[in-house]
Amino acid sequence: MKINFLKLCLIVFFLSMTNAHALYGETTRKIIYASGRWVPYSYIDDYGEARGVYIDILKEIFEKQLKLQVDYQEYPWKRAQRYVKDGLADFFITVVSEERLQYTVKTELPVMEMYLHVFTYTDHVQLSKIRTIGSGADILDLGLIPVTNLGNAWHKNNIDRLGVNTHYVPSEENAFLFLAAKRADITIEPLIAGNHLIKKLGLASSIIPTEARFGPLTFHLFMSKKSKYVKMMNEIDQVISGLHQSGKINRILEPYQNMR
């Protein structure tokens, strides 16, 4: 039976598409990363590009090592977690909680460790003592008044519970402006995030990070149990281990830590 020219062309087209998928499909697979907006860790810039510390690390893990394209999706944080829980996104990065472990599998090693540094204004009369702070009890003993944002659960659980009197303001930006105006003595923030805000707000001559710090907080990658990529967790763990051992993650962090 003869096949007309149009049918023959269609057959050739579909065969070529099938072969292309077989050859290139594995390198164009996407894994969906759901996150809240947290500059300079994970955010979409003014040009629609995903930027930040986590993005740089994830590109190293997935795009360079595992040949998976990272599809960054930015949502309000509660929605990002729900999407991972429901399998609408593959993973997020955060700290461990029992609730999250019910619907995800976490990496054995953290993607990164984060220390919270004590920031103060440059001419504080107790600057030398602030530099030696090692606990919330030290803050209480020195009679210091911190300022932080309303949603800072870490501060409430680790500082306020000791009896420290804290000022609460709407955002981290407000906290740094409040501190620059000398309406509080200190604020406690991740070094990278704090340095970013100092630069953004033009406060380099007013506020400094000190050597005093808390932590580290460990931030893991949490893969949805409903994700098709959950079977790759051993491979992901091996890649993260290699990046730590080679010092690659520290090299990714360096420009962010020195961004003042």
Q: Is the peptide bond before 170 cis (omega within 30 degrees of 0)?
A: no
- The pLDDT-based confidence of 26 (bands split at 50, 70, 90) is very low
- What SS3 class is residue 178? helix
Strands (E), the chain: 30-35, 43-44, 50-51, 69-74, 91-94, 104-106, 112-121, 147-149, 167-169, 186-190, 207-224
> For residue 50, what pLDDT is reported?
93
User: Do the domains 5-112+219-257 and 115-216 sit in the same CATH topology, yes or no?
Assistant: yes
CATH superfamily of 5-112+219-257: Periplasmic binding protein-like II (3.40.190.10)
Q: pLDDT confidence of 211, banded at 50, 70, 90?
A: very high
Evaluate if residue 231 carries a pLDDT over 60: yes
Do 121 and 182 meet the contact criterion of CB atoms below 8 Å apart?
yes
Question: Mean pLDDT across the stretch 111-134?
Answer: 97
Least confidently predicted of 1-5, 68-72, 116-120, 138-142: 1-5
For the chain, what are the domain ranges? 5-112+219-257, 115-216
Query: Which structure tokens are listed for 82?
Result: 């729900």
pLDDT above 50: residue 23? no
- Residue 255 pLDDT exceeds 80: yes
- Spatial distance between the Cα atoms of 238 and 241, rounded to a whole number of angstroms: 5
Neighbours of 177 (CB within 10 A): 18
- Please state the rounded mean pLDDT for residues 47-69: 95
Homologous superfamily (CATH) for 115-216: Periplasmic binding protein-like II (3.40.190.10)
Phi and psi for 77 in degrees, rounded to 5?
-55, -40
pLDDT tens digits along 170-201? 999 999 999 999 999 999 999 999 999 999 99
DSSP element (H, E) containing 236: helix 233-246
Tens digits of residue pLDDT in 123-157: 999 999 999 999 999 999 999 999 999 989 999 99
pLDDT band at 22 (very low <50, low <70, confident <90, very high): very low
What is the Cα–Cα distance from 186 to 91, expressed in whole angstroms? 34
Name, in order, each residue with C-beta under 8 angstroms of 92's C-beta and a sequence gap of 6 or more: 33, 34, 35, 80, 81, 84, 221, 222
Separation between Cα atoms, residue 92 and residue 107, nearest integer Å: 11
Predicted local confidence at residue 29, as pLDDT: 84
